[in-house]
Amino acid sequence: MKRTILLYGLIGGALITALRLVEYRWLVLEHSLEVYGGIVAALFAVVGIWLGRKLTRTRETLVVREVPVRVEVPVEVPVPYEVRVPVPAGSPFERNEARLRELQITPRELEILEAVAAGLSNKEIADQLFVSENTVKTHAVRVFAKLGAKRRTQAVQLAKEAGIIA
């Protein structure tokens, strides 16, 4: 801090001496506005450069590197139960309404599940059903939970086995 004050004092003294060396009377009386404007501009430039260097100085940063550690913990995820409904190849698909009611899957969740089975992304499903992408994600998570699925493909497989989708 003392060094900064000393620096500004020396700069101020140098400026005053420079004004004395040049025709002080002529500069002050004839061009006082320009001189003072130039001095203020120079001061702002110096302060701006000083602040720029001080604020953009690189600081020491502590880098923390996370390393994944595989820990195997046997956890059983409860699955409601599995129902396998064989569908003959030649007959038309008939939805298992009893299983739908049993799992409490709503019509909108069923639409989402069918769109997932068709291979659509969440964005495409949202565009097709005129809802937000977050709504699609919410319905998808709920139907996955009702089916006991962790992934989209597993949900489609479980829904087909339960006779919910074709």
The string of pLDDT tens digits covering residues 39-97 is 889 999 999 899 888 888 777 777 777 777 777 766 665 656 665 656 556 566 678 78
Q: Where in the chain is the domain with CATH 1.10.10.10?
A: 97-161
CB burial string 79-109: b at 16+ within 10 A, e below: eeeeeeeeeeeeeeeeebeebbeebebeeeb
pLDDT digits (tens, 9 = 90+) for 10-26: 888 888 887 777 766 66
- Rounded Cα distance, 62 and 88, in Å: 64
Query: Are the C-beta atoms of residues 166 and 148 closer than 8 Å to each other?
Result: no
* 97-161 is classed CATH 2.40.160.40: no
pTM beyond 0.85, yes or no: no
